[in-house]
Structure 1
């Protein structure tokens, strides 16, 4: 079988390559650059807890030690504290703020020892040809050649060559917002706490009053972002330095503290969504498929979710033959989630950024606006929370034994402790990304006893037989508890960590039906299987 061709060696493309390799699928990454990222302290990313865990599983690197998990979040309006969020073990999970080059280099390092992945540097794509048995890509450059693959994934950014070669439209809005950005080493009053300051008192009122965010990085470095007024006015070094000094003085009671300016830039936010994310054996992911980022939404985080969703479906098709409904579900699921987030941001922007009107005299309006912005920055709510695939074409129909738990069907599962088949205690999240379905039995008290005492008792033999009979490889896990799940309930979880269903007790027929639906339904006899020989 031919490898999967991945165009683009950014975080999304490299993550997809590692995910495929973990599922025994070879890949070729076409990197148009030299194979390394130059340090840019002002180019950082914010990741939710589950995407951070995904990257740490793939790289074997404790990324949290190379970035900063915020101790808290504070929202100010003029001089008034509008909201505060503290992150601790008992509260919501803290986002991770990390320089993008650190993340990319960790992914590249993980690929060095991965025999199933080849990275071809200085390889710029200029042609794609498809046929029923596979796809062929041509690159120019020092390694210019033809590459043969089973599938091709375009992870090549906003100006995606893959998208253009497939003639896929990319409608949307340009320059929704612009931000001046600076990374500097300085001592600020909020150690390890991120800050959103709207209409700071040292700025004049009106559209230029704007807002500034401060997000900590390791070693006393902070990233500061200033929302720029509408227009295309040039941000000169003098203007940026004036912003730095004015802001630092405003936060330090009038005197500018000593600082070391490390990096600057201008970040322009676009909102675009590709019309199609699949064209035969070609797929789009990350910035090639969508651009979003206003109001705190994190585009890279969504791109990593694209890779996680696509990887297990490509792996299933690569190993077991193409199943069109399963492959089509990638676009149906991921495009719907990103479209919903774009709609939420576009509907909220005029309210938050518009001037005048009754909103200034409506009680509580300012506080509710700051809460919306906080949700976007912290990965919560419609603006920031992880998407659910409740309306997925892979969702099973009505199951008589289905019961409600705290995780709705289609949403990411909670990370609980489970007992693996070898008797070891692991986190549920650690078993994701291997291409297998996960079947989790809720058995209170199971953790007290050695596995050999209960593996052949009660419902376990019947459940183990049902798991073995499923139409796709599956792993049986046991948890003492799961939020909202009664004893002896059974959860079916997709390889990317989204809940398929929760069943009351061991129901082999319904478990099989749910698993079959998760794979896109039954494969018809005589369907095409295979992606062509090398």
Structure 2
């Protein structure tokens, strides 16, 4: 089986390559440029708890050098309208994008199944029944050959253009002046959003980064004049006076820029054996929505599906579900932005539709930053093509299609850890069994329904891990949960029923019946595959 070709080595391309390699899929990673990413502290990203956990699984422990906000405050005219205190598990992670990219690049360097090539930009690609081949500007003669290809090559994606996929949308929905600076402010693990900042009347956001570095954003007119250095420095000094509560606050200016948020969406995210992800598939960023965060969700969603198709044979339903789920989620996000913009930025009679006036306006601004509501909450795939037949799952308050709760689960080996630490590989079947937490696993492995359930799971058509949880929110005892490799809860079955479980797993995997996986030798020529046509 030929490798998967990933075009583009930004955060999304690197994350996808790593996620596939960890599932024993060989990768050819085509980079247009050599060298590390430029250091731009003013270009940062916010990762929600689920995407931060995904990125953390891909790199060595504790190497994502970011700041977790423990407090978010939203203020209007200097008065606190809303404050949100986070637990460590739910706090957003804020870090410079080049730090995220370099952490992922470092992990790729240690991955034998990823072949990195500085091949220049893609100039041509063709597909046939057996695979896909790519010509690049930096390689003369024979093309690269792969089983599938994913274009993660940014907003100006050459892959998207070669596939003939349209990219409609709107330009310059929002503009922000941005500055990254080092200063000692009184709340190093917080983020604040000001509307009508005292003394200036500006809308601005201050978000902590590591090492006393802060990113400051000021909303600009959508199509205003260029921001002069003098005007930016004046904004920095006026803002620091308000934030620090005193004038002449010392600071070191590290980086500046103007961030322009566009809204665009590719018409198709799959064209036969080729896929689009990240900025090649969508652009967003207005009202606090997060582009890198959504791109990493693309990578996590696609990785397990491509890995299953690569190992066990092509499955169109499974592969088509990537576009159905992820494009559908981004459509809902962009629609929410379109609906909120007139209420947040506009005035007149539309504002009166919001009970509470300014409080709700500020609440909408906060939703995107905090990862809640239609502007920011993790997506749900209840209407996915992979959803099990109606009537199989419990009619309970379980959020089927949404992210599974990160409860502690125990493997048959006795190893206990959070559910999020077991994602990214096989399907997970979790039995809710109160009382098992106080017993050594040797005592319950051969008791009750466990022997029958273990045998059923071993006989499923795709690799599946059996786990046990002491409890799960809103799930009664003996509920059987089916969790996808990307952490979405697919089903909650009322007890151990072999036929129901098989039906559910067949649906979740796109109707796959399963075949023996080909052997892959890490570090060998066979692992990298014959990547040349």
Output the TM-score relative to the length of structure 2: 0.94
The answer for the alignment partner of 1:430 in structure 2 is: 421
State which of 279, 302, 324 in structure 2 corresponds to 1:310: 302
User: CA-to-partner distance for each residue in 1:448-487, whole Å, 9 max, x for gaps?
Assistant: 1111111111000111121112121101001111111111
Instruction: Say whether residues 1:86 and 2:81 are aligned partners.
Output: no
Tell me the SS of whatever aligns to 2:261. strand
Inter-partner Cα distance in structure 1 for 2:22 and 2:395: 32
Inter-partner Cα distance in structure 1 for 2:129 and 2:451: 43
8 Å contact from structure 1 (residues 34, 122) kept in 2: no
8 Å contact from structure 1 (residues 249, 256) kept in 2: yes
Tell me the CA shift for residue 524 of structure 1. Answer: 12
Inter-partner Cα distance in structure 1 for 2:273 and 2:322: 12
8 Å contact from structure 1 (residues 155, 286) kept in 2: yes
Gaps of 5+ in 1: 204-208, 526-530
8 Å contact from structure 2 (residues 38, 98) kept in 1: yes
Aligned pairs (5 A) from 1:405-484: 405-434=396-425, 436-484=426-474
- Tell me how large the CA RMSD over aligned residues is: 2.0
Between stretches 138-147 and 232-241, larger displacement belongs to 138-147
8 Å contact from structure 1 (residues 210, 228) kept in 2: no
Aligned pairs (5 A) from 1:60-139: 60-63=60-63, 66-88=65-87, 93-139=90-136
Tell me the SS of whatever aligns to 2:143. strand
Check 1:196–1:289 CA distance in 2 against 1; reply closer, same or farther (3 A cut): same
Tell me the SS of whatever aligns to 1:347. helix
The answer for the alignment partner of 1:528 in structure 2 is: none
The answer for the alignment partner of 2:190 in structure 1 is: 193
Inter-partner Cα distance in structure 2 for 1:225 and 1:533: 47
The answer for the alignment partner of 2:172 in structure 1 is: 175
8 Å contact from structure 1 (residues 438, 493) kept in 2: yes
Tell me the SS of whatever aligns to 2:384. coil
The answer for the alignment partner of 2:359 in structure 1 is: 367
User: CA-to-partner distance for each residue in 1:205-239, whole Å, 9 max, x for gaps?
Assistant: xxxx4410000011111000111012141112112
Instruction: Say whether residues 1:157 and 2:154 are aligned partners.
Output: yes
State which of 497, 500, 516 in structure 1 corresponds to 2:490: 500
Inter-partner Cα distance in structure 1 for 2:137 and 2:387: 43
8 Å contact from structure 2 (residues 409, 470) kept in 1: yes
The answer for the alignment partner of 1:280 in structure 2 is: 272
The answer for the alignment partner of 2:222 in structure 1 is: 230
8 Å contact from structure 1 (residues 49, 94) kept in 2: yes
Check 1:253–1:106 CA distance in 2 against 1; reply closer, same or farther (3 A cut): closer
Tell me the CA shift for residue 422 of structure 1. Answer: 1.7
Q: How many residues align?
A: 519
Inter-partner Cα distance in structure 1 for 2:346 and 2:50: 34
User: CA-to-partner distance for each residue in 1:405-428, whole Å, 9 max, x for gaps?
Assistant: 554111110111111132111211
Instruction: Say whether residues 1:8 and 2:4 are aligned partners.
Output: no
8 Å contact from structure 1 (residues 150, 532) kept in 2: no
Instruction: Say whether residues 1:387 and 2:379 are aligned partners.
Output: yes
Gaps of 5+ in 2: 516-529
